Amino acid sequence: MAEKHFKYVIIGGGVAAGYAAREFAKQGVKPGELAIISKEAVAPYERPALSKAYLFPEGAARLPGFHVCVGSGGERLLPEWYTEKGIELILSTEIVKADLASKTLISAAGATFKYDILVIATGSSVIKLSDFGVQGADAKNIFYLREIDDADKLVEVIKAKKDGKVVIVGGGYIGLELGATMKINNLDVIMVYPEPWCMPRLFTADLAAFYEGYYAKKGIKIIKGTVAVGFDADANGEVKAVKLKDGRVLDADIVVVGVGGRPLTTLFKGQVEEEKGGIKTDGFFKTSVPDVYAIGDVATFPMKLFNDMRRVEHVDHARKSAEQAVKAIKGSEEGKSIDEYDYLPYFYSRSFDLSWQFYGDNVGDTVFFGDSDLESTQPKFGSYWIKDGKIVGAFLEAGTPEENKAIAKVARLQPLVQNLDELAKVGLTFAFNI
């Protein structure tokens, strides 16, 4: 196969790759200089749609509706856009070997790609129960959600198993969002997770109590403090039951597993410095290897606000780190300096008619405020996190755009707080007075 050479290559075709391509175009990349190599068969798209609107029974999101950069209010980059800009989209192509010293990538089909500058945007892969040798974990109708192919399979099985029983394994982002979409599809939903409450990496017990109560009111059963240890299948090899560690057995027509992901760094092992499970970068997303940058889920970067190294798995950081790296690449070529990345962590989720946002860091003492009564017509509540007398994080359910901006500002400015009881009383008003 002929060897191809590009000035810039982005490896990975997710959100970060799409936003990087847009920034390259803004910075005046010339036709033929940039290639995106992706193992997926479609142009970069907004991944969060897969656990939400893609699975809706009516008015479902479909491509080309959610190609990047529509998720942040930008123009949709359809496949034609890449052609118009002279950006080569090399799809359905898995890179199996990366030699950073010789600036060479080799695909599963044996094609060779050479580059001058590499941007690693490989993202994460889902953690599978079969990785831990869970008995029966390879049965049919056990699903993981990462790519559009996974979502397509879920759409088919939802149709095939009308009014069936779904067991969701995991109580994090994916578990909560898929629990909601499965219920919206009129399926019988049970969620199982080992922790004492849902979203334990972010939620406090107070916050979780509302969401668990809300899900219960919607008819979703929650089983906490245990894990799936095995699966039974029928004669067709389709899952029919989930065996729990506490001895219970749950009937299941569909199982969806959301137990986290791990950054895809295998191709670069031993060639580039790593930290905290990711590829170590500076505030411009440069790695320890010249002309190699890493963005999105795979990058462990300096979090200026908290003065430490972090790896962040979230679409907002994928978008922003992509733009930062490309500005840095073009800046260094043109002898222009840019500011270091100064990221305010931001997470959000939507399920049913709920919508929350969180900014900052969830460490230290917490102060809960607002109305989280499940009988309220419009519950609105939140939490502040206080460390060393300063607010370092803020969470809000059902915030207006102005209110969400206010909590983001508080998390960024980290104001001092004298009295926690007083803070609980004034709640959201505190943020507006900063």
Per-residue model confidence as pLDDT tens for the chain (434 residues): 679 999 999 999 999 999 999 999 999 999 999 999 999 999 999 999 999 999 999 999 999 999 999 999 999 999 999 999 999 999 999 999 999 999 999 999 999 999 999 999 999 999 999 999 999 999 999 999 999 999 999 999 999 999 999 999 999 999 999 999 999 999 999 999 999 999 999 999 999 999 999 999 999 999 999 999 999 999 999 999 999 999 999 999 999 999 999 999 999 999 999 999 999 999 999 999 999 999 999 999 999 999 999 999 999 999 999 999 999 999 999 999 999 999 999 999 999 999 999 999 999 999 999 999 999 999 999 999 999 999 999 999 999 999 999 999 999 999 999 999 999 999 999 999 98
Report the number of secondary-structure helices (H) and strands (E) in the chain: 9, 26
For 400, residues 6+ apart whose C-beta sits below 8 A from its C-beta are: none
Q: Write the single-letter amino acid at 250.
A: L
Nearest residue to 117 via CA among 310, 312, 285: 285
DSSP string, 120-174: E---EEE--GGGGT-BTTTSBTEE--SSHHHHHHHHHHHHHTTT-EEEEE--SHH
Cα 64 to Cα 49: distance, rounded to the nearest angstrom: 12
What pLDDT is attached to residue 384?
98
Say if residues 169 and 129 touch (Cβ distance below 8 Å). Answer: yes
Q: Token pair for residue 225?
A: 């403090």
Query: Domain 353-432 is classified in which CATH homologous superfamily?
Result: FAD/NAD-linked reductase, C-terminal dimerisation domain (3.30.390.30)
DSSP string, 405-422: HHHHHHHHH--B-S-HHH
For 80, residues 6+ apart whose C-beta sits below 8 A from its C-beta are: none
Say if residues 38 and 44 touch (Cβ distance below 8 Å). Answer: yes
Cα 123 to Cα 263: distance, rounded to the nearest angstrom: 6
For 167, residues 6+ apart whose C-beta sits below 8 A from its C-beta are: 190, 191, 192, 228, 242, 250, 252, 254, 255, 256
Angle between helices 205-217 and 173-184 (to 10 degrees): 20
Q: Token pair for residue 129?
A: 């129960």
Query: Pseudo-torsion of CA 7, 13, 19, 24, nearest 10°?
Result: 10
Q: Give the DSSP H or E segment for 391.
A: strand 390-397
Query: Domain 129-259 is classified in which CATH homologous superfamily?
Result: FAD/NAD(P)-binding domain (3.50.50.60)
Tell me whether the CATH fold assigned to 4-125+262-334 matches the one assigned to 129-259: yes
Cα 298 to Cα 256: distance, rounded to the nearest angstrom: 24
Q: Which fold has domain 4-125+262-334?
A: FAD/NAD(P)-binding domain (3.50.50)
What pLDDT is attached to residue 129?
95
Cα 83 to Cα 93: distance, rounded to the nearest angstrom: 18
Domain ranges for the chain, please list them: 4-125+262-334, 129-259, 353-432
Cα 228 to Cα 93: distance, rounded to the nearest angstrom: 34
What pLDDT is attached to residue 1?
67
pTM, rounded to two decimals: 0.96
For 370, residues 6+ apart whose C-beta sits below 8 A from its C-beta are: 379, 380, 381, 382, 397, 427, 428
Identify any residues that bridge with 90 across adjacent strands, giving them in sequence order: 37
Identify any residues that bridge with 293 across adjacent strands, giving them in sequence order: 119, 286
For 247, residues 6+ apart whose C-beta sits below 8 A from its C-beta are: none
Nearest residue to 267 via CA among 99, 131, 89, 17: 99
What pLDDT is attached to residue 2?
75
Identify any residues that bridge with 396 across adjacent strands, giving them in sequence order: 357, 382
Cα 301 to Cα 388: distance, rounded to the nearest angstrom: 24
